[in-house]
Amino acid sequence: MSRRLPHLLAALSLALALVLPACPPAFATNSAPARPVLELDGYTDWSGAMTVLHRGDFVDPYLALQALLLADANGIDIAQAGLAWARWLLVRQKPDGTFARYCRSGQRWLACKDADNQAAVLAMWLRLLERLPPAALQQPAWRVSIAGSRRALAALREPEQGIYRASGGAHRADFLENLDVWAQMSASPAADKTAGAALGRAIAHAFWRPADMRFLARLPAREPANTAFYPDRLAQILPLQVDFPLPDNADPEQLYRR
């Protein structure tokens, strides 16, 4: 990845660091303070596509959705940018409800790669639509998309273990992807809380190794255990960021240091 072209999530993290300290404190008033509006100059084009790199030619829905939801969770107004992006992605959703990754070809965007974290993308897509202005989502196409996304997400769930399987690659299930789905279910007021709690228990049962007091990054587990930063070490940190309940009274500091 080019060092001169910042990654979308990295750029957004920098924007949050610059914007949030400047936001006035929310004193008790009759009206809520205005939220700063998300600006993505150089990361979007006229069509609404949101690229991974600044003025780039590649779109990964996973990263775009993560960036929008991160901004929303940190008090940034994503209505305009989020709706433009959602309209762009809506017309590219596959008949089976899933999504691809996209490359620029001239003035067009073409599906060029399969998404390898489909369950997380679907969960974040459904969450984004919850966060956009309802009045803008009244057309039947939105309802069709929501229904199709829910079916596609359900189809990726392994009924025996209760976790979501990876849609591509050699491994069967990815811890971080399941954590993404759990986090979006936990944040959604419309989600079935019983199902969310059940997914949390299933994730802990499938990925937690009590003998080592650590999470596996993927299933089936690799032997010997890998200690690379991604995904193995990162798998010990992300549960802390989304307040995932740690099994066996695990010490968060110990997980962070692994």
> What average pLDDT values come out for the chain (258 residues) when binned by 10 residues?
47 52 47 82 92 93 94 94 97 97 95 91 97 95 97 94 82 91 94 93 95 90 68 87 88 72
How far apart (Å, rounded) are the C-alpha atoms in residues 179 and 200? 8
pLDDT at position 221, please?
Answer: 76
Same domain, 142 and 190: no
- Shared domain for 179 and 75, answered yes or no, is no
Q: What is the largest CA-CA distance in the chain?
A: 59
- Confidence at residue 25, expressed as pLDDT on a 0 to 100 scale: 46
Same structural domain, 151 and 168:
no
168 and 250 within one domain? yes
Claim to verify: residue 147 and residue 211 sit in the same structural domain? no
Q: Which of 113, 134, 156 is the last residue of a domain?
A: 156
Same domain, 7 and 84: yes
Contact 39, 101 (CB under 8 A): no
Show the beta-strand stretches assigned E in 28-115: 58-59, 100-105, 108-114
Q: Is 116:161 a contact under the CB 8 Å cutoff?
A: no
Of 103, 132, 156, the residue at which a domain comes to its end is 156
Helix (H) or strand (E) holding 173: strand 173-174
Residue 228 is part of which domain span? 162-258
| 112 and 140 belong to one structural domain | yes
16 half-sphere exposure, CB direction, 13 A CA radius: 18
- Give this prediction's pTM: 0.86
Phi, psi (rounded to 5 degrees) for 77: -80, 110
What does the alpha-carbon distance between residue 124 and residue 188 come to, in Å, rounded to a whole number? 10
What is residue 19's predicted lDDT score, i.e. its pLDDT? Answer: 47
119 and 43 in a common domain: yes
pLDDT of residue 216: 92
Total count of domains within the chain: 2
**232, 253: one domain:** yes
